Amino acid sequence: MRTPIVLVTGVDPDAMASVLVGLAWDLPRAVSVRHVIDPDEQTLTRVVSDADGVLDKEVIPLEHACTGCALREDIVPTIERLARDGRWNTVIACLPLGAEAVQVDHVVAGDSRLQRHLRIAAVVTALDGANIVDDLLGDDLLRERGRHSGPDDARGHGEVACAMVEYADVVVLSSETETQPSPVGTELVRTLARPDACVVPRSEEVDASLLTSMLHDHERTARWIAPVLMDGLPQRRERGVWQLVLDSPRPFHPDRLLDDIERLGGGRHRSRGAFWLPTRPDVVQVWDGAGGQLSIGAGAPWSEVTPRTRILFTGAGTAPDHLHDAFEAMLLGPVEALVETPNWAVPEDGFEPWLGPIRDIA
């Protein structure tokens, strides 16, 4: 029998701790492991506990203070060790601040040996229920809140938090006070989350027994977060939340995108999707941003998929009125789009710092 693993993620330590304690209390014969990265000391602290108390605590030096090193050196090996021990029915793994469950999920999904002993049963994201909109759409960096994982961690707080919501099976809006999550904040979470995900307003309302069932589906979740967005995405305008899909079969013009990318990437909203460039026609270019922080990068080849530029925007309040025009202005015009791809065979297009050299991708 494979041991179910419940992964707890988040960017707020109090919210994560509240969820972890609740699950450890409610799940019979459960063991919990919490990992904390100290980016200054470059250490990883591991604490293993069950109903009898703390079983193991160790501070582990890291070669580099980052989630990748932590996962490889201790997080995944510890999860496997606890799952194979035989004393516990469930392993609750509280990942370091800012560490995304998708990283653990990919390791398990690609390792048949691990799959013989454990399964990812649920991914739970814990948020501060009192500050949802600012946490998801604000422009703070993780570093500015002391929640970064290493000296080179320049990720946006909102970008990481939004991605966690989108990957979660359950989102818990925890709070140390009696403050209830705002209707707009709750609706924003429901809009970002997978349609079949559970959004729970308080940590004590989590149905712990549900988490050990086959709640998590790696392939279904991967489809939901894929940069090449599926057709038929919702466009919601209710309870103070707006959503907009900008879509075209045409690529972005490299020069115009480089000059005006902030018109789309900047602003108090979440945006994700994919685009293509005539200078790099064979590769999906990934668009991933929130709260004015934007990341772009080279993804997989388009392969059998017809290249398309499609970005989903989600925000709270009133939607900016410039997004349609900005998007259209950055696309190749109808006449420009008729130019054959070989005419765009240039040695550089200005996106090398983010997408790599053209010669390595074409």
Which range is least confidently modeled, 64-68, 243-247, 303-307?
Answer: 64-68
CA nearest neighbour of 281 among 350, 354, 343:
343
pLDDT at 362 over 50: no
CA atoms lying within 13 Å on the CB side of residue 223: 8
Angle between helices 218-225 and 101-109 (to 10 degrees): 130
Domain 3-225: CATH architecture, name and number where available? 3-Layer(aba) Sandwich (3.40)
> How many angstroms separate the CA atoms of 241 and 316, rounded?
4
pLDDT tens by residue, 268-280? 999 999 999 999 9
CA nearest neighbour of 2 among 114, 146, 135:
114
Residue 361 φ/ψ region, left for φ over 0, alpha for ψ in the -120 to 50 degree band, beta for the rest: alpha
Q: What is the sign of the dihedral through the CA atoms of 107, 112, 114 and 120?
A: positive
If you ran DSSP here, which 8-state letter would residue 75 be given?
I
Mean pLDDT, rounded, for 255-264: 95
Number of Cβ atoms within 10 Å of the Cβ of 359? 9
Whole-model pTM? 0.93
pLDDT tens by residue, 125-177? 999 988 899 999 999 999 999 998 888 888 999 999 999 999 999 999 986 65
> 237-360, what's its fold?
Hypothetical Protein Yjia; Chain: A;domain 2 (3.30.1220)
If residue 186 lies in a helix (H) or strand (E), which one and from where to where? helix 183-192
Domain positions in the chain: 3-225, 237-360
Cα–chain center distance at 286? 13
